[in-house]
Amino acid sequence: MDSLLSVFPSKDFSLLGIILAAPLLGAFVNGVWGRRLGRDAVRLMAITAIAVSFGAALLTFLALDREVTHAGHGHVKLAWTAWDWLYTTGKSETQIPIALRFSVDALSGVMMLVITGVGLLIHIYASTYMWDDKSYWRFFCYLNLFVFSMLVLVLGDNMPLLFVGWEGVGLCSYLLIGFWYGKMANAAAGKKAFIANRIGDFGLICAMFLFVHYTGALDWNGIEAGSGSLVTVNEATQVHVWPIGGGQFTGFLKFLQPDSPITITAATAVGLALLLGATGKSAQIPLYVWLPDAMAGPTPVSALIHAATMVTAGIYLICRLNFVFVLAPGVMATVAVIGAATAFLAATIALVQNDIKKVLAYSTVSQLGFMFLGVGMGAFTAGFFHVFTHAFFKACLFLGAGSVIHGMHARIHDDDKAQDMRKMGGLRKYMPLTFWTFLISTAAIVGFPLTSGFFSKDEILFKTMTTELVHPDAERLGKKVTFVQSLWGARDPSHFYVPPAWLGTALYWVGIAAATMTAFYMSRVVILTFFGEFRGWKLGRPSQIDAHEAAAHDDAHGDDAHGDDDGEHHHEEDLTKPGYAPHESPRPMTIPLILLAVFAAFAGILNPGLLKHFGLPLPLEHWLEPLFEESVKVGVHAKEGAEHMELMCTAGAFGAFAVGVGLAYWVYVVQKGAPAKQWAEAAPKLYKLLLDKWRVDEAYEASVLSGVDALADTATSVDKGVVDGILARLTALLVAAFGTILRALQTGVVHVYAGMMVVGLAGLGWFFVMPHPDGHVVEKGSGDYSIVAAPGVGYGYIWAEDGAKKPEKEVFSGTAAFPLHVEPGNTKKVELKVRNAFGIVGTKTFEVTAPAKAAPAEVIEMGQNGHGS
Amino acid sequence: MIPVEYYVGLSAILFLIGGIGFLVRRNVLVALMSIEVMLNATNLALVAFNRQHAQVHTGQVLSFFVIAVAAAEAAVGLAIVLSFFRLKRTVRSDEADLLRN
């Protein structure tokens, strides 16, 4: 390890370059040559690229650990500057460098391992899952590119570089959601994800502008160093919310001008902007709507991008900039409230969905909400721990669902039907490995004691219950106000808002409710999919299956080209005929499942918060502590008696698990699903509302989208009417009219052209023969002028001032310029005679008027003269 | 020695004859010949004026250039007339109106 550090010193740790370059190379090779390389080579390239990246990431992690041990504290960063990228100009002309610089510290180190590790497993899984797809190479090109972008996002040492990765993963997400773009719905889902993310990106860009302005830096260390200037009591240095940007309303708009402008601190503005970005990427209210639709992509994509890695970027961002967020407790509370609300809302929707991937999608949204709840309440370690464990169990769940769909596809070729849990059932017997891994991951997500999800979710809920947010600058600032006062009270820039202490308790109960629902719907998924009787098609012994069916079965074996646009083999089979039972997936798909399930079960050991009283260490918390220590110290305050609440909180979380799972067992196993039907019939409207996902999409359609549509229609009519109709047509008409007139002159007869030439030459000759008396007056000041005549070949001039004596004989010997003095207020006339080389004389008269001068100027002049004499 | 005015006068008369011929006659060959007359009128003027300056030969040299250009022009012009005749079976210039409007 020492030799590794001697090759890669911590200031120039170029091993990061290998971590990044390997997936990029894989994407390049597969993208450019993939079509000709064939499936085997594409698979080799893609998996090798990620494996190399994962190996380098492991080495990096070990080196980082070594450095941390060596330094004795956790503020260690291994950094590598690829090159200086560009500079931007900050306040008072300071140059802010934006380097292409990557760094790895405790937080990004863990993320990096998750991305490459889970990424590797999912690549292996996908190499079999996607085998029959005709765009195999394209899939792995995108997937490698995604890993690269995600690594840029995580390893980037400054905000713009994070943004590059942020956009890169957004692009790959879009490409992979719409991977089977032949179906309109898939393409639409890709666009939806892309556009929802763009709204979030707007917030991220605003945050960058504010960072440049207020902190004068864009790299993490610089932002941290300059974060003090984000909180000020001076109104002028705060962000003006109304009037926007600190303007003034005048005239008839004056009633809009408040007595004193509404301002928020820069920390609040930055926090809200970052939060907008995070809600977009991490699928939180109000921008969560894209994630459920994103399940249109291939299942490994759902596992890697839309469950394990990309969607956690928002939580990563908040953890990364925790020192900014704690400066604005109001924003922290907003993060927590949004998280809890999303966790609850998504869980209610997941209760009634029938599509296995849809349930998992809403479950992801819900779990992301838990993470937001954690980081919003200042429990950064707990929130991030949930990112970590969620990556394993949710990836495993998605891959398990993929395995199930793969099995169902043997005879049901329609996507939606193959994913419908009402067609499944009893798969436990036919797909034992899938069943057990799915069960273990479900145990983790529902919080079965001692699994990874139990520890991480419990930690979040415990921290939510026992902490209250405080303002780190409370002493420096003025008066604390309530939320209502902060909006409508007498405004004073030194007032600050701190969320009330009961917020944590309230959010805890929302979280418990969401956790209960999670336990219920996940148990429902397991029971409907793996228990009971198989409902997909009639099962029969092989002897009952005729030769044709057997051949079709072989043909469909491992065929997973769902969503393909060719549709040739999408003939629906007669499911009432007996057929083979669904079979277990091949080994490259089950091995990742097993590994992920092992992690899902045991990853909790990294941070068993509940068991610390039994003397177990908390490696992850210890590992991440240096990053969050300062923020937690100033921004979060543990309630009194927090230690004693731990067991109670755990009991609550365990209760949620027990109630949810027990209820699901009673409804779907003991009562065979009868109560679920009764409830749906008892409250049909509510059931329909949940099934329609609270009709949020429809609400957006009616409000935002129709507004945009109306705007687009207006623009179209203006374009068609004004631009096309008037501007373009009028110009064309003018040109055509001139053309018609000029065309008449174009007789095509040579003699007419010759005649025109003669006329033109005669005109030119006349111009040269006649003299041109012309000139302009130059003012020289204090009444002096000079008339300058236009020059010409062989010209002679005679100047005659009006009233002056005329000479006896006219001699054209004068110069081209004639000096003249005019008293103020007077006018003089000058006659100019010009004779040219042909002896022809022309005449022109100039009139020069001097403006009346202001009297005092003359007085001073006179006084000076008098003094001199 | 004949005064230069006589040469210039003759040149002007020749130029006028050429110009009017070009404008009035419809036969393309005659028009070409008219152009030749005009060119030679200028040549005459150039040479005549050049005689005023004993040491300088610019005018004479320029007239050689004009003769050379006139030869080239005649060649091209006759080629055009030939292809025009093949196209229209006539050499009347008012029949050549393909570029009309």
Q: So what's the pLDDT on residue A547?
A: 52
Closest CB from A746, A751, A754 relative to B100 = A746
Residue numbers in B near A751 (CB within 8 A): 22-24, 26, 93-94
- Using DSSP, state whether A467 is helix, strand or coil: strand
pLDDT tens-digit readout, A806-820: 666 777 877 888 888
Closest CB from B22, B99, B101 relative to A754 = B22
pLDDT tens-digit readout, A463-481: 999 888 888 877 776 667 7
A127 and A214 part of one domain: no
**B80-B82-B88 Cα angle (round to 5):** 100
Whether A747 and B98 lie within 8 Å, measured CB to CB: no
Residue B95 lies in a domain: no
Locate all alpha helices (DSSP H) within A636-705, ordered by sequence.
Answer: 642-665, 674-682, 684-691, 696-700
Query: Quick one: which of A166, A7, A13 has its CA closest to A104?
Result: A13
Q: What mean pLDDT comes out for the span A678-693?
A: 87
Residue numbers in A near B98 (CB within 8 A): 748
A128 and A186 part of one domain: no
- Using DSSP, state whether A800 is helix, strand or coil: strand
Residue numbers in B near A746 (CB within 8 A): 99-101
Q: Which residues from A are below 8 Å from B when comparing CB atoms?
A: 743-744, 746-751, 754-755, 758
The rounded distance, in Å, linking the Cα atoms of A253 and A241 is: 17
Quote the strand ranges of A374-462, DSSP E: none
Closest CB from B22, B93, B101 relative to A743 = B101
φ/ψ of A559, rounded to 5, equals -75, 115
Count other Cβ atoms within 10 Å, centred on residue A570.
Answer: 12
The rounded distance, in Å, linking the Cα atoms of A121 and A140 is: 13
The rounded distance, in Å, linking the Cα atoms of A856 and A868 is: 19
Domain boundary residue, one of A177, A192, A218:
A177
Cβ of residue B101 closer than 8 Å to a chain A Cβ: yes
pLDDT tens-digit readout, A65-123: 888 888 877 788 899 998 898 999 888 888 999 999 999 999 999 999 999 999 999 99
Locate all alpha helices (DSSP H) within chain B, ordered by sequence.
Answer: 4-24, 28-51, 58-88
Closest CB from A743, A746, A750 relative to B96 = A750
Burial A807-819 (b: 16+ CB within 10 A, else e): eeeeeeebebebe
User: Is the backbone peptide bond immediately before A608 cis, with ω within 30 degrees of 0?
Assistant: no
Report the Cα–Cα distance between both ends of chain B, in Å, rounded: 54
A123 and A206 part of one domain: no
Strand order in the sheet with A827-835: A796-801, A827-835, A841-849
Whether A748 and B19 lie within 8 Å, measured CB to CB: no
Burial (CB count within 10 angstroms: exposed 0-12, middle 13-18, buried 19+), residue A63? buried
**Residue type at A13 in one-letter notation:** F
Residue A703 lies in a domain: no
Query: Quick one: which of A606, A618, A623, A605 has its CA closest to A68?
Result: A623
Tokens 């594409």 -> residue: A42
Asked whether the predicted pLDDT for residue A408 surpasses 90, the reply is no
Q: What mean pLDDT comes out for the span A319-336?
A: 92
Closest CB from B19, B24, B99 relative to A748 = B99
The rounded distance, in Å, linking the Cα atoms of A371 and A752 is: 89
Burial (CB count within 10 angstroms: exposed 0-12, middle 13-18, buried 19+), residue A858? exposed
Residue B94 lies in a domain: no
Interface residue of A749, A752, A758, A761 to substitute, partner B, most B CBs within 10 Å: A749
Tokens 């070729």 -> residue: A413
The rounded distance, in Å, linking the Cα atoms of A264 and A242 is: 10
A134 and A225 part of one domain: no
Whether A748 and B97 lie within 8 Å, measured CB to CB: yes
Whether A755 and B23 lie within 8 Å, measured CB to CB: yes
Domain boundary residue, one of A643, A673, A703:
A673
Whether B23 and A758 lie within 8 Å, measured CB to CB: yes
Query: Quick one: which of A675, A344, A337, A358 has its CA closest to A507?
Result: A337
The rounded distance, in Å, linking the Cα atoms of A720 and A697 is: 31
Closest CB from A746, A754, A755 relative to B101 = A746
Residue B101 lies in a domain: no
Residue B71 lies in a domain: yes
Q: What mean pLDDT comes out for the span A235-259?
A: 80
What value does the mean pLDDT of chain A take? Answer: 86
Window 31-70 of B: residues touching A by CB (8 A cutoff) are 31
Q: How many folded domains does chain A comprise?
A: 3
Whether A749 and B31 lie within 8 Å, measured CB to CB: no
Interface residue of A751, A757, A758 to substitute, partner B, most B CBs within 10 Å: A751
Residue A27 lies in a domain: yes
Residue B32 lies in a domain: yes
The rounded distance, in Å, linking the Cα atoms of A855 and A863 is: 13
Domain boundary residue, one of A138, A158, A177:
A177
Residue B73 lies in a domain: yes
**CATH number, domain containing residue A837:** 2.60.40.10
- Range(s) of the domain holding residue B68: 4-89
A395 and A528 part of one domain: yes
Report the Cα–Cα distance between both ends of chain A, in Å, rounded: 99
Interface residue of B16, B20, B23, B80 to substitute, partner A, most A CBs within 10 Å: B23
A415 and A289 part of one domain: yes
Q: How many Å is the Cα radius of gyration of chain A?
A: 39
Query: Quick one: which of A497, A92, A499, A501 has its CA closest to A267?
Result: A497
Q: How far A190 CA sits from the closest chain B CA (Å)?
A: 56
Task: Report residue B18 as tokens.
Answer: 């050429």
Tokens 């560009």 -> residue: A86
List own/partner pairs for A226-231 with CB under 8 A and 24 or more apart.
A227/A267, A227/A323, A227/A324, A227/A327, A229/A266, A230/A265, A230/A266, A230/A267, A230/A270, A230/A324, A230/A327, A231/A265, A231/A266, A231/A267, A231/A327, A231/A328, A231/A473, A231/A477
Whether A754 and B23 lie within 8 Å, measured CB to CB: yes
A290 in Cβ contact with A284 (< 8 Å): no
- Range(s) of the domain holding residue A847: 772-855
A538 and A608 part of one domain: yes
Q: How many folded domains does chain B comprise?
A: 1
- Least confident residue range of A17-26, A387-396, A534-543, A784-793: A534-543
Query: Quick one: which of A237, A72, A134, A34 has its CA closest to A565?
Result: A134
Residue A767 lies in a domain: no
A546 and A606 part of one domain: yes
Q: What mean pLDDT comes out for the span A399-407?
A: 91
Q: What is the DSSP letter of A304?
A: I
Q: Which residue of A has its CA nearest to B21?
A: A751
Per-residue H/E/C for A692-745: CHHHHHHHHHHHHHHHHHHHHHHHHHHHHHHHHHHHHHHHHHHHHHHHHHHHHH
pLDDT tens-digit readout, A564-576: 444 444 556 677 7
CA A402 to chain centre: 28
A318 in Cβ contact with A335 (< 8 Å): yes
The rounded distance, in Å, linking the Cα atoms of A854 and A857 is: 6
Locate all alpha helices (DSSP H) within A494-578, ordered by sequence.
Answer: 502-530, 547-556
Q: Which residue of B has its CA nearest to A757?
A: B23
Closest CB from B19, B22, B100 relative to A748 = B100
- Using DSSP, state whether A101 is helix, strand or coil: strand
Q: Residues of chain A with pLDDT > 70: what percent? A: 92
Contacts of A820 (CB under 8 A, 6+ apart): A784, A785, A786, A787, A801, A828, A830, A848
Whether A744 and B97 lie within 8 Å, measured CB to CB: no
Residue A710 lies in a domain: no
Give the HSE-up count for residue A163: Cα atoms under 13 Å, Cβ half-sphere. 19
Burial A5-23 (b: 16+ CB within 10 A, else e): beebebeebebbebbbbbb
Strand partners, A843: A833
Asked whether the predicted pLDDT for residue A549 surpasses 70, the reply is no
What is the interface size between A and B, counted as CB pairs within 8 Å?
Answer: 32
Length of chain B, in residues = 101
Length of chain A, in residues = 869
Residue A801 lies in a domain: yes
Query: Quick one: which of A399, A477, A311, A324 has its CA closest to A130?
Result: A399
Residue numbers in A near B96 (CB within 8 A): 748, 750
Cβ of residue B23 closer than 8 Å to a chain A Cβ: yes
Tokens 């029959």 -> residue: A132
Burial (CB count within 10 angstroms: exposed 0-12, middle 13-18, buried 19+), residue B23? middle
pLDDT tens-digit readout, A409-437: 888 887 778 888 888 888 888 899 999 99
Whether A750 and B31 lie within 8 Å, measured CB to CB: yes
A835 and A783 part of one domain: yes
**CATH number, domain containing residue B15:** 1.10.287.3510
Residue B63 lies in a domain: yes
Whether B100 and A747 lie within 8 Å, measured CB to CB: yes
Whether A750 and B93 lie within 8 Å, measured CB to CB: yes
Q: So what's the pLDDT on residue A827?
A: 84
pLDDT tens-digit readout, A162-213: 999 999 999 999 999 999 999 999 999 999 999 999 999 999 999 999 999 9
Q: What mean pLDDT comes out for the span A619-643?
A: 85
Highest mean pLDDT among A292-296, A479-483, A774-778, A857-861: A292-296
A149 and A222 part of one domain: no
pTM check: above 0.90: no
A272 and A379 part of one domain: yes
CA B16 to chain centre: 11
The rounded distance, in Å, linking the Cα atoms of A570 and A183 is: 14
Instruction: Give me the DSSP letters along A579-613.
Output: BPPP-PPPHHHHHHHHHHHHHHHHGGGG--GGGGG
Window 65-94 of B: residues touching A by CB (8 A cutoff) are 93-94
Q: How far B99 CA sits from the closest chain A CA (Å)?
A: 5
Whether A751 and B94 lie within 8 Å, measured CB to CB: yes
Asked whether the predicted pLDDT for residue A3 surpasses 70, the reply is yes
Residue A748 lies in a domain: no
Higher pLDDT among residues A653 and A578, named by residue: A653
A67 and A211 part of one domain: no
Task: Report residue A635 as tokens.
Answer: 């921004």
Residue B98 lies in a domain: no
Cβ of residue B5 closer than 8 Å to a chain A Cβ: no
User: Is the backbone peptide bond immediately before A160 cis, with ω within 30 degrees of 0?
Assistant: no
Q: How far A823 CA sits from the closest chain B CA (Å)?
A: 55
Region of residue A379 (left: phi > 0; alpha: psi -120 to 50; beta: else): beta
pLDDT tens-digit readout, B1-55: 789 999 999 999 999 999 999 999 989 999 999 999 999 999 999 999 998 888 8
